[in-house]
Amino acid sequence: MAAFADGDPSSSSSCSSWDSDDEYQKFIQKMNPPRVTIDNASCANATTIHVDSANKYGILLEVVQVLTDLKLIVKKAYISSDGGWFMDVFNVTNQSGQKIMNESALEGIKDNIYKSIASSSCFLPSRRAIGFEPSSDYTLIELTGIDRPGLLSEVSAVLTNLDCNVMNAEVWTHNKRAAAVIQVTDRKSGLAILDAERLGRIKERLRNVFNGRSRDAKTIVAMGITHTERRLHQMMLEDRDYERYDKDRENANPMPMVSVVNWLQKDYSVVTMRCKDRPKLLFDTVCTLTDMQYVVYHGSVDTEGPQAYQEYYIRHIDGSPVNSEAERKRIIQCLEAAIERRVSEENGPFLLDGAHAVFLQWPEVRVVNR
């Protein structure tokens, strides 16, 4: 494998498969429906899931998201999506490290994966639109800004003062930045807040709490449903939480090992990662690569040793490998941030105003109904 080198501009001239006409993609999907098979005989200590489908942008993330949401632990994975066909194998266990033997659970896994990769569920690479669906049940609030002590308490106080009931909230902090996705309803009606003037007041008050200083704080109020953790990754990436000054790096915890080199003969960039394993690690890294608009053509994942190992052969969505040293460094920084944003150790719970429980997971804070 060759060491990293700037790519030859001529190598990126090949047309990406993602430029195909949408109707043609739908036709391919119809002629080649997805297949999901599950067996407990292929692997001695894990349930094996095979996923075969016509390829489309983001399909790997869709499958990994389903496995993550079902609380399955991916012990090994083999990824191949070259040539217009997606063929992946996942060895998974339950939270206790055991095979999934219950037939109804196995059917549920198969059904959820199939639904996620059906042609109607394909999402486009527009980050802002990923995962949003209309909802009249609650109002969605997104916040990004500088992290500081007492921030969550101030946000809660503002929403309470504005007669908002917090149904669910999740806050991530990393590298002195904070991002929050909060679902609120009107305290009296229990429904979403529709009044434009009131929504404007909520937005303005929360913007003041998230005073941006060196970077502008962002406050978005919208109607919709989103996959919260996917959205938080997007928000922190857009907020550039991956930028770390040398002084910050000296005080950081042991860094994950991330490398990016170009395999010039095949026009791939090869991303390798080694770090301590933890829940949702695969989701976090695949989500970040997708949000950065890179496509994983081949890959392997192994979490059975003392460390998790991930290797991906990627190209940008336009079909080109990494073309500059600056791009290479940015990929490394973004993947390091994706790995660091979440840890598995829990502290808590702590009660908040008697109605919600706050579970602290450094650097993550979660507020859920109780």
Distance of CA 325 to CAs 6, 227, 244, 267, 291, Å? 7, 33, 17, 16, 20
Residue 157 phi/psi, 5° resolution? -65, -40
Print pLDDT tens along the chain (370 aa): 433 333 343 444 444 444 455 665 566 566 667 899 999 999 999 999 999 998 888 999 999 999 999 999 999 999 998 777 899 999 999 999 999 999 999 999 999 999 888 755 544 443 333 334 456 688 888 888 888 888 888 999 999 999 999 998 999 999 888 899 999 999 999 999 888 899 989 988 888 887 644 455 566 766 656 788 999 999 999 989 998 655 555 555 678 999 999 998 899 999 999 999 999 999 999 999 999 999 999 999 999 878 999 999 999 999 999 999 999 999 999 999 999 998 533 433 332 332 333 333 323 333 333 3
**Is-cis flag, bond preceding 363, omega within 30?**
yes
Sketch the domain layout of the chain as residue ranges: 9-123+260-331, 131-241+344-369
Residue 153 phi/psi, 5° resolution? -65, -40
Burial category of 334 from C-beta neighbours within 10 Å (exposed 0-12, middle 13-18, buried 19 and up)? buried
At residue 8, the pLDDT reads 40
At residue 119, the pLDDT reads 56
* Beta-bridge partner residues of 273: 258, 310
Residues 6 or more apart whose Cβ sits within 8 Å of residue 363: 172, 173, 174, 340, 341, 342, 343
Residues 6 or more apart whose Cβ sits within 8 Å of residue 13: none
At residue 306, the pLDDT reads 80
The CATH architecture assigned to 131-241+344-369 reads 2-Layer Sandwich (3.30)
At residue 227, the pLDDT reads 87
At residue 12, the pLDDT reads 41
User: Helix (H) and strand (E) counts for the chain?
Assistant: 9, 15
At residue 249, the pLDDT reads 53
DSSP state of 253: P
At residue 223, the pLDDT reads 60
Tokens 């969505």 sit on residue = 317
pTM: 0.78
At residue 135, the pLDDT reads 61
Burial category of 306 from C-beta neighbours within 10 Å (exposed 0-12, middle 13-18, buried 19 and up)? exposed
At residue 218, the pLDDT reads 66
User: Would you say 38 and 108 are in contact if contact means Cβ atoms under 8 Å apart?
Assistant: no
Q: How far apart are the first and last CA of the chain?
A: 53
